[in-house]
């Protein structure tokens, strides 16, 4: 990623908006925005095997494994405005489990790209299913979108929920219901 080129583009954008990009408060803004974009879009410059980093382990566990309330921050591809919320992941393994921190890293890997929440949810589920050959995977994401809150319809309390269920989470109603019940429970 060429941060110098992005900084020049941001400088020009500020001019087009009617601002003086050389005034004290904005003088370093183009470079700050370029560095921010480098971080916020780092998912384009990563790959899943490096993220997982061999943190897949043999296990006889065949029960449901759930990680709740994983923070997610992304930017919508339509307006390049942030959306943020929580991601809940559940899976049933065949004979492998994945390191807990890797679930959060997979969320970030996909979230740090221009996204739509629907695809983000599905991609997370697909990658987890493939990484461990899970019997089933469920991912539920709840997020607030600044493109809905700050502009357009300006609905401050709207919350979008998406889900992706694969394998036994799709085919077995009892499994899907157990997952949904467990992610709804409040932590004590």
Active site residue 186: no
From the list 31, 33, 42, 28, the residue with the least C-alpha distance to 73 is: 42
Verify whether residue 87 is a known catalytic residue.
no
Set 19, 147, 178, 180: catalytic member: 147
Active-site residue identified among 4, 12, 71, 77: 77
Query: CB atoms < 10 A from the CB of 17, how many?
Result: 8
- Choosing from 11, 76, 87, 88, the catalytic residue is 76
147: annotated active-site residue: yes
Which pairs with CB-CB distance under 8 Å and at least 24 residues apart come from 45-52?
45/1, 46/109, 46/112, 48/106, 48/109, 48/127, 48/131, 51/102, 51/105, 51/106, 51/109, 52/98, 52/99, 52/102, 52/105, 52/106, 52/131
Q: Is 11 a catalytic residue?
A: no
In the annotation, is 76 catalytic? yes
145 is catalytic: yes
Catalytic residue among 79, 142, 178, 180: 79
Active site residue 178: no
The active-site residue, picked from 71, 78, 118, 130, is: 78
Q: Which residues participate in catalysis according to the annotation? A: 76-79, 117, 145, 147
């Amino acid at each position: 990623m060429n941060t110098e080129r992005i900084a020049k583009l941001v400088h020009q954008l500020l001019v087009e908006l009617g601002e003086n990009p050389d005034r004290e408060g904005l003088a370093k803004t183009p470079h700050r925005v370029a560095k921010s974009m480098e971080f916020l879009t780092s998912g384009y410059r990563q790959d899943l095997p490096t993220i997982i980093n061999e943190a897949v382990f043999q296990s006889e566990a065949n029960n449901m494994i759930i990680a709740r309330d994983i923070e997610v921050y992304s930017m919508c591809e339509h307006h390049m405005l942030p959306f943020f919320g929580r991601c809940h992941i559940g899976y049933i393994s065949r004979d492998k489990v994945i390191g807990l921190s890797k679930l959060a890293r997979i969320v970030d890997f996909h979230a740090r790209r221009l996204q739509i929440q629907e695809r983000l949810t599905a991609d997370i589920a697909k990658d987890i299913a493939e990484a461990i050959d899970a019997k089933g995977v469920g991912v539920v994401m709840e997020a607030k979108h600044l493109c809905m809150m700050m502009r357009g319809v300006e609905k401050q309390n709207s919350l979008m929920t998406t889900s992706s269920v694969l394998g036994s989470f799709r085919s077995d109603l009892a499994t899907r219901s157990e997952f949904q019940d467990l992610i709804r429970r409040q932590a004590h």
